[in-house]
């Protein structure tokens, strides 16, 4: 057999280090410039000779005030302030509108907010770019008819097939009043937050690690959905890639050693439910990684998964330039069961810690990373994270517990927020540790997470040996329960044949019950898994008639919770993406959709939403 030798010719033709450095620098510079931005278009009555001149200061003042509000209130998912691009002058006609578009096209403007205190020439000044999400703020004043322009341009947008959001203050303001009323500010921020979420997803990747898990329909990646509705590229990585990198050493050894040391110091082990259990011969044969080496394997796997998703320039330093680039991920998922977990340590730690707001490097942006690679729950994780700025917590929507069933099983009655019963949300071993509520009774954006908050979440979590009946390859599952009552929003994306994607939303709160009741209910499923008790807010009608109705209407076995009642923002985001909302319990007064949605009917907003989304079709 011919021995394997290095190819000298390939080594001689290797690009010089200066080229590699230059390429990496240009690549990183492009990444910095790629932040999606919100463009602000100050439009004005184009008549020179007194009219236009009298409005210049007011119009530019509105633009600057809107930009200050947005950049001062909102952040990108990585924690940096949201960036606005203000057109340097007012827009009074088509030539200036074209110049504005030219400026925006060079700055990755993905959404525009047109502002005006006056009448303007609608179809001459409006944003006609098919690729931007649009809104118009018309000043509610009497001196100049900004509201008249707002109505006229909404009519133009409707006729041109360009959905746009209408922003108009409830109360009349004086022309010299340069403040932004609270109701206007709320709509501007809601629009900006969701529009930038649209831009943040675009041209990134959903990375499928492995194949289909246990026949779960959401685990079949619908690449057309991701491409056409979200602008996301679907990529696939066989799980053997993790083993290849382990075997050859394609990982950052310093990062791995840091992660392992952190795990051993901070991730306390819980009970081992396998102790004293006579294991089936198949389970014994399948445990190829010795139990004492599980954490070593898991730490290495987690570091490698991060590198696959996002890249790591240190891999280039050791000669692996392609691997150093990563997959430009915005979300992903790990198949796990069963081709991996039947013989290798499970992905529970990897999934849980990626979705949390911290790891061994401290506080950092959480990752929408789906258990069992349920891609549709991965999309829901992404939506929730983008609008709430908090960790997305993956759940099985496992059980409806009625008050009667709780009393029969535990011998106790529930009261308070649990009085109507609740849903037991419990995932098979992995969920973001933020879901404990240990960070001062909240789930916080990562930029607010302190060392004490991180420690509290870690202290509230035990890492139990995986159930060898489920996970023959072993590993560790995250055992925690919610220890605070928190407002949360449960959401899920489903795909329905003949309809397409739909979104489900249920606002509610996590509930606390006493420890004995918790343990009794927990042990009826698996006490090594993360547990949340959720009570949806009820409306007395439809899917929210009672808690049972919410469970009965839920479209899948999975769902996601994020902190706060963000259902209104999710509805706004869904309308931008042309995804109808199948169920929600958001008050009608909080819903903010494109103005033209009203043209599809006002008596039944849900039906109008379906019709509008069907009419306009996927965003891309």
* Cβ neighbours of residue 529 closer than 8 Å, sequence gap 6 or more: 426, 427, 428, 429, 477, 478, 479
- Residue-wise pLDDT for 294-350, tens only, equals 999 999 999 999 999 999 999 999 999 999 999 999 999 999 888 899 999 999 999
List the beta bridge partners of residue 91. Answer: 43
Q: How far is it, in rounded angstroms, from Cα 80 to Cα 320? A: 30
- Tell whether 212 and 182 lie within a shared domain: no
Give residues with Cβ within 8 angstroms of 461, minimum separation 6: 267, 268, 433, 436, 478, 479, 480
pLDDT digits (tens, 9 = 90+) for 358-369: 999 999 999 999
Q: Note whether residue 2 is domain-resident.
A: no
Is 285 in the same domain as 386?
Answer: yes
- The CA-CA-CA angle for residues 557, 212, 351, to 5°, reads 70
Q: Are 233 and 203 in contact (CB under 8 A)?
A: yes
192, part of any domain: yes
* Residues 553 and 593 both lie in one domain: yes
255 and 358 inside one domain: yes
Give me the pLDDT at residue 142, please: 83
pLDDT digits (tens, 9 = 90+) for 413-455: 999 999 999 999 998 889 999 999 999 999 999 999 999 999 9
The model's confidence at residue 15, banded by pLDDT at 50, 70 and 90, is low
* Mean pLDDT calculated for residue range 83-107: 97
Looking at per-residue pLDDT, the higher value among 567 and 50 belongs to 567
Tell me, yes or no, whether 553 lies in a domain.
yes
Q: Which two tokens stand for residue 426?
A: 């419990």
> Is residue 87 a part of any domain in this protein?
yes
- Domain stops at, among 186, 201, 216: 201
Segments forming the whole domain that contains residue 159: 34-201
- Judged by average pLDDT, the poorest of 24-33, 213-222, 440-449, 524-533 is 24-33
For residue 588, pLDDT over 80 is answered with yes
Confidence of residue 564 (pLDDT cuts 50, 70, 90): very high
**What are the DSSP calls for 58-84, one per residue?**
HHHHHHHHHHHHHHHH-B-TTSPBPPE
Least confident range of 116-125, 526-535, 579-588, 589-598? 116-125
- pLDDT for the residue numbered 21: 54
Segment 287-293 long-range contacts (CB within 8 Å, at least 24 positions apart): 287/343, 287/468, 287/472, 287/473, 287/474, 288/343, 288/344, 288/473, 289/344, 289/345, 289/473, 289/474, 291/465, 291/474
CATH number for the domain that contains residue 535: 3.20.14.10
Of the candidates 177, 201, 225, which is a domain's last residue? 201
- Is 462's pLDDT higher than 70? yes
Query: What is the Cα–Cα distance from 344 to 337, expressed in whole angstroms?
Result: 10
Are 116 and 43 spatial neighbours (Cβ–Cβ below 8 Å)? yes
The distance of Cα 83 from the centroid of its chain, to the nearest Å, equals 19
Residue 143 known to be catalytic: no
Q: Is 164 in contact with 41 (CB distance < 8 Å)?
A: no
Q: Report residue 219's pLDDT band, with 50, 70 and 90 as the boundaries.
A: confident
Based on the fold, state whether residues 191 and 235 are members of the same structural domain: no
Residue 404: helix, strand or coil by DSSP? helix
DSSP string, 178-220: ----HHHHHHHHHHHHHHHHHHHHTT-EEEEESS-STT-GGGS
For the residues 491-516, what does the mean pLDDT come to?
97
Q: What is the mean pLDDT of residues 126-130?
A: 95
Clarify whether residues 286 and 332 are in a common domain: yes
445 is a domain residue: yes
pLDDT over 80 (residue 589): yes
On the question of pLDDT at 24 being above 80, the answer is no
pLDDT at 17 > cutoff 70: no
Tally of structural domains, the chain? 2
**Mean pLDDT, range 531-559, rounded to an integer:** 97
Over residues 45-61, the mean pLDDT reads: 93
- With a cut of 90, say whether residue 122 has pLDDT above it: no
Give the pLDDT score at 212. 85
Asked if the model's pLDDT at residue 1 lies above 70, the reply is no
Shared domain check, 324 and 253: yes
The residue from 201, 217, 233 where one domain ends is 201
Write the CB contacts of 365 (distance below 8 Å, at least 6 apart in sequence): 77, 78, 79, 357, 446
How buried is 125 (Cβ within 10 angstroms: 0-12 exposed, 13-18 middle, 19+ buried)? buried
Q: Is residue 589 in some structural domain?
A: yes
Annotated active-site residue 440? The verdict is no
Q: How many helices (H) and strands (E) does the chain have?
A: 22, 21
**Residue 42 — φ and ψ, nearest 5°?**
-80, 105
**Domain with 105 in it: what CATH number?**
3.40.50.1070
Q: Are residues 600 and 560 in the same domain?
A: yes
Residue 7 predicted with pLDDT over 70: no
Q: Is cis: bond before 415, omega within 30 of 0?
A: no
307 in the same domain as 184: no
**Strands (DSSP E) found in 466-550:** 476-479, 487-496, 500-510, 531-536
Average pLDDT of the chain to the nearest whole number: 93
pLDDT tens digits, residue range 250-293? 999 999 999 999 999 999 999 999 998 888 888 888 889 999 99
203 Rama class: left (phi>0) / alpha (psi -120 to 50) / beta: left
Q: What is the mean pLDDT of residues 456-469?
A: 95
Residue 458: DSSP 8-state:
H
* pLDDT score of 428: 85
- In a shared domain, residues 498 and 556: yes
Helices (H), 460-561: 515-523, 547-553
Once rounded to an integer, what is the mean pLDDT over residues 390-411?
Answer: 97
Task: Give bridge partners of residue 237 from the DSSP assignment.
Answer: 209
For 150-188, write each residue's pLDDT tens digit. Answer: 999 999 999 999 999 999 999 999 988 999 999 999 999
CA–CA distance, 518 with 414 (Å, rounded to integer):
12
Annotated catalytic residue within 252, 359, 396, 467? 396
- Element housing 351 (H / E): helix 348-355
pLDDT at 23: 55
CA distance 374 to 467: 21
Residue 13 confidence (pLDDT):
57
Mean predicted confidence (pLDDT) in 524-528: 91
Strands (E), 317-468: 329-334, 358-359, 362-363, 368-371, 393-401, 422-426, 462-465
CA 483 from centre of chain: 24
pLDDT of residue 211: 87
**pLDDT given for residue 31 in this prediction:** 56
Structural domain contains residue 18: no
**Residue 21 placed within a domain:** no
In our burial notation (b when 16+ CB lie closer than 10 A, e otherwise), range 406-420 reads beeebeeebeebbee
pLDDT of residue 5: 54
Residue 374 and residue 287 share a domain? yes
pLDDT of residue 470: 85
Give phi and psi for 548, each to the nearest 5. -55, -40
Same domain, 181 and 223: no
């Amino acid at each position: 057999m011919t021995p394997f030798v290095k190819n000298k010719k390939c080594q001689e033709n290797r690009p010089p280090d200066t080229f590699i450095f230059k390429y990496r620098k240009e690549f990183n510079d492009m990444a910095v410039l790629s932040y999606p931005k919100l463009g602000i278009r100050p439009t004005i009555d184009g008549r020179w000779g007194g009219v236009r001149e009298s409005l210049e200061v007011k119009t530019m003042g509105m633009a600057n005030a809107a930009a200050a509000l947005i950049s001062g209130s909102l952040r990108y998912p990585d924690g940096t302030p949201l960036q606005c691009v203000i057109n340097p002058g007012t827009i009074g006609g088509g030539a200036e509108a074209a110049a504005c578009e030219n400026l925006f096209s060079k700055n990755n403007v993905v959404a525009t907010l047109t502002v005006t205190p006056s009448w303007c020439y609608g179809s001459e000044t409006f944003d006609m770019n098919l690729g931007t999400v649009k809104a118009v703020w018309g000043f509610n004043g009497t001196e100049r008819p900004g509201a008249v322009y707002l109505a006229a341009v909404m009519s133009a947008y409707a006729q041109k097939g360009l959905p746009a959001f209408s922003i108009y203050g409830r109360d009349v303001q004086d022309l010299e009043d340069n403040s932004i009323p609270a109701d206007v500010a709320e709509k501007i921020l809601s629009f900006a937050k969701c529009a930038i979420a649209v831009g943040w997803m675009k041209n990134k990747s959903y990375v499928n690690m492995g194949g289909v898990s246990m026949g779960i329909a959401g685990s079949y990646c619908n690449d057309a959905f991701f491409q056409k509705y979200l602008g996301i590229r679907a990529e696939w990585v066989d799980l053997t890639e993790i083993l290849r990198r382990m075997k050859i050493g394609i990982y950052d050894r310093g990062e791995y050693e840091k992660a392992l040391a952190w795990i051993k110091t901070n991730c306390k082990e819980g009970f081992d439910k396998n102790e004293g259990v006579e294991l089936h011969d198949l389970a014994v044969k399948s445990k190829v990684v010795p139990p004492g080496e599980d954490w070593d394997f898991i730490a290495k796997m987690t570091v490698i998964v991060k590198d696959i998703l996002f890249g790591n320039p240190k891999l280039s330093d050791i000669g692996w330039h392609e691997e150093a680039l990563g997959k430009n991920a915005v979300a992903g998922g790990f198949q796990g069961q069963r081709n991996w977990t039947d013989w290798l340590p499970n992905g529970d730690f990897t999934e849980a810690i990626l979705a949390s707001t911290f790891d061994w490097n401290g506080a950092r942006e959480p990752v929408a990373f789906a258990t069992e690679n349920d891609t549709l729950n991965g999309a829901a994780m992404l939506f929730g994270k983008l609008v709430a700025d908090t960790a997305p917590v993956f759940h099985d929507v496992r059980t409806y517990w009625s008050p009667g069933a709780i009393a029969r099983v535990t011998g106790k009655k529930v009261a308070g927020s649990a009085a109507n019963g609740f849903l037991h949300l419990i995932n098979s071993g992995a969920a973001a540790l933020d879901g404990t509520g240990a960070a001062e009774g909240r789930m916080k954006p990562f930029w607010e997470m302190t060392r004490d908050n991180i420690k509290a979440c870690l202290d509230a979590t035990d890492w139990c040996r995986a159930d060898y009946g489920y996970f023959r390859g072993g590993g560790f599952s995250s055992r925690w329960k919610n220890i605070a009552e928190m407002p949360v929003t449960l959401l899920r994306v489903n795909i329905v044949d003949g309809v397409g994607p739909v979104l489900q939303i249920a606002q509610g709160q996590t509930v606390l019950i006493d420890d004995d009741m918790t343990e009794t209910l927990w042990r009826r499923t698996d006490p090594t898994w993360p547990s949340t008790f959720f009570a949806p807010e009820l409306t007395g009608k439809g899917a929210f008639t009672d808690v049972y109705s919410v469970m009965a209407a839920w479209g899948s076995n999975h769902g996601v919770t994020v902190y706060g009642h963000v259902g209104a923002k999710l509805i706004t985001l869904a309308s931008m993406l042309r995804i109808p909302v199948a169920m929600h319990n958001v008050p009608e007064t909080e819903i903010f959709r494109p103005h033209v949605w009203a043209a599809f009917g006002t008596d039944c907003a849900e039906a109008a939403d379906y019709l509008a989304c069907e009419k306009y079709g996927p965003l891309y």
